[in-house]
């Protein structure tokens, strides 16, 4: 497996250090990129490790015992993450999502949550602070996360059938423990909870209707289930278009059981198309990253575990912010550098791919999802 690992490792260390502009650029909260898109949403990967091996993200054959995860010293500390987050907030970020890898595997995560919960936007508002987790240790951690100031969680769950779920996480993890985690999060008020289901044609499409029924009935429509098209992210998940079940098909399957009505987006740049059960059973979301491009309003930046900034989920290179932090750059220097990087952003991978034949976009050097976070 060594040959597969080396390019990923090389890529991780290949991000250039952003230049500090000669003329300082102050934070105004109004920064926009080359396509006029603001910076609103920061996703922070707190670990590249995970206890699952979902085939669409960290296939066992690649992420095996020889795989070299990042050494502890190269991870950003909680203080470094919080410092960067504060500077991003100055540029307009209003929402922070902790992700990974599996974020709940990072030791002491509650103390990072507490530090981030103390940040305020230039208007004095708290951030929308959330976390995406596979739910495996959520039952144990929900109360402490809530107490630290986390507002809500998104839990990934690809099916209710235990055999299907065990085979998709590929480590035999039982579905009952994830469901316990969701119950615990609900009990302590980490809501509104979202549940993300990646749909792979031929693998878990039979779970779509049971999942919808479960979350409608058990939580009185208060949990939003979102169906995600299997994406060609990274370079190792063996993505094939014929394993994508288009969201339009998911919607048609659901409509055979319940009438659904479209809802308007709540905020610009929202990833999911929202639908409501006409009988008041709550709402669902469809994330059609393959069949429907949504780059026009994309306001998301991603910070990798060792401090590289990625401007697109499908980026092939990052911007090394850790070198700025550890090289003694001042807040004003980093603020200026961030402004210059974002101002040059013209990424719109999904839109460009949509204009090409399926599979033509190539995947050789793309960054992996577990590394920059979903």
Mask of contacts with ligand SAM, 174-213, x by CB under 6 A? Answer: ----------------------x-x---------------
Residues 284-303 that bind ligand SF4 (CB under 6 A): 294-295, 298, 300
Residues 146-175 that bind ligand SAM (CB under 6 A): 156
CA–CA dist 205, 209 (Å, integer): 8
Please tell me whether residue 341 adopts helix, strand or coil conformation. Answer: helix
DSSP reduced 3-state for 276: strand
Q: Are 194 and 223 in contact (CB under 8 A)?
A: yes
The answer to the question of residue 58 lying near ligand SF4 (CB under 6 A) is: yes
43 lies in the binding site for ligand SAM (CB under 6 A): no
Name all contacts of 110-113 with Cβ < 8 Å and 24+ positions apart. Answer: 110/141, 110/144, 110/145, 110/147, 110/148, 111/78, 111/148, 112/46, 112/78, 112/81, 112/82, 113/145, 113/148, 113/149, 113/150
Contacts to ligand SAM from residues 255-284, by CB under 6 A: none
Neighbouring residues of 27: CB distance < 8 A, sequence distance ≥ 6: 87, 90, 91, 122, 335, 339
Q: How far is the CB of 358 from ligand SAM (least distance, A)?
A: 15
Angstrom distance (rounded) from CA 93 to CA 31: 10
> What is d(CA 294, CA 171) in angstroms, rounded to the nearest whole number?
33
100: contact with ligand SAM by CB under 6 A = yes
Write the DSSP assignment of 79-108 as a string of letters.
HHHHHHHHHHHHTT--EEEEESS-GGGSTT
Q: One symbol per residue from 49 to 88: x for binding ligand SAM (CB under 6 A), - otherwise; what is it? A: -x-----xx-------------------------------
Residue 75, interface with ligand SF4 (CB under 6 A)? no
Q: Fill in the per-residue mask, 6 to 45: x = in contact with ligand SF4 (CB under 6 A), - = not in contact.
A: ----------------------------------------
Residues in contact with ligand SF4, counted by CB under 6 A, come to a total of 23
Closer Cβ to ligand SF4, 48 or 336, answer by number: 48
Instruction: Considering the complex, state which of residue 207 and residue 347 has its C-beta at the smaller distance from ligand SF4.
Output: 347
Q: Which does 314 bind (CB under 5 to 8 A by kind): ligand SF4, ligand SAM, none?
A: ligand SF4
Strands of the chain (E only): list them: 41-45, 95-99, 128-133, 152-156, 194-199, 224-229, 260-262, 273-277, 283-287, 300-303, 308-310, 319-320
226-255 residues near ligand SAM, rule: CB under 6 A: 228, 230-231, 233, 237
Q: x/- site string to ligand SAM, residues 125 to 144, per CB under 6 A?
A: -------xxx----------
Q: Between 77 and 116, how does the x/- string for binding to ligand SF4 read (CB under 6 A)?
A: -----------------------xxx--------------
Helix axes 138-148, 175-188, angle to 10 degrees: 20
Coil, strand or helix at 68: coil
- Residue 154 phi, psi (nearest 5): -115, 130
Q: Give the residue from 5, 153, 9, 84 showing the smallest Cα distance to 323.
A: 84
Ramachandran class of 342: left when φ > 0, alpha when ψ lies in -120 to 50, beta otherwise:
alpha
The residue whose Cβ lies closest to ligand SAM is 374
**CB-nearer residue toward ligand SF4: 221 or 246:** 246
Residues near ligand SF4 (CB under 6 A) are 50, 52-54, 57-58, 100-102, 134, 156, 294-295, 298, 300, 312-314, 347-350, 370
Residue ranges binding ligand SAM (CB under 6 A): 50, 56-57, 99-100, 102, 132-134, 156, 196, 198, 228, 230-231, 233, 237, 369-370, 373-374
């Amino acid at each position: 497996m060594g040959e597969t690992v080396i390019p990923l490792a090389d890529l991780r260390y290949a991000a250039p250090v952003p230049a500090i502009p000669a003329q300082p650029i102050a934070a105004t909260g109004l920064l926009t990129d080359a396509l006029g898109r603001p910076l609103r949403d920061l996703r922070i990967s707190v670990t590249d490790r995970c206890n699952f091996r979902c085939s669409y993200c960290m296939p066992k054959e690649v992420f095996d015992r020889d795989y070299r995860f990042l050494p502890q010293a190269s991870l950003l500390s909680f203080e470094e993450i919080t410092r960067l987050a504060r500077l991003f907030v100055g540029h307009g970020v209003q929402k922070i999502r902790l992700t990974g890898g599996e974020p709940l595997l990072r030791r002491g995560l509650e103390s990072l949550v507490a530090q981030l919960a103390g940040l305020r936007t230039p208007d004095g508002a708290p951030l929308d602070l959330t976390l995406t987790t596979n739910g495996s240790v959520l039952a144990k951690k929900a109360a402490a996360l809530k107490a630290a100031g986390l507002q809500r969680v998104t839990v990934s769950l690809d099916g209710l059938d235990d055999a299907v779920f065990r085979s998709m996480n590929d480590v035999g993890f039982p579905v009952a423990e994830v469901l316990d985690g969701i119950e615990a999060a609900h009990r302590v008020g980490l809501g509104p909870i979202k549940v993300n289901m990646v749909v792979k044609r031929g693998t878990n499409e039979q779970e779509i209707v049971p999942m919808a029924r479960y979350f409608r009935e058990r939580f009185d429509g208060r949990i939003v289930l979102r169906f995600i098209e299997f994406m060609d992210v990274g370079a190792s998940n063996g993505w094939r278009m014929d394993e994508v079940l288009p969201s339009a098909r998911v919607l048609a399957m659901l409509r055979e059981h319940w009438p659904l009505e479209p809802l308007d987006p709540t905020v610009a740049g929202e990833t999911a198309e929202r639908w409501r059960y006409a009988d008041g059973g709550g709402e669902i979301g469809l994330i059609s990253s393959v069949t429907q491009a949504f780059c026009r309003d994309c306001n998301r930046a991603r910070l990798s575990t060792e401090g590289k900034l990625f401007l697109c989920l499908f980026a092939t290179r990052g911007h090394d912010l850790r070198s700025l932090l550890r090289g003694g750059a001042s807040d004003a220097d980093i603020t200026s550098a961030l402004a210059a990087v974002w101002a040059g952003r013209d990424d719109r991978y999904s839109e460009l791919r949509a204009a090409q034949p399926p599979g033509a976009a190539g995947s050789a050097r793309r960054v992996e999802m577990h590394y920059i976070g979903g």
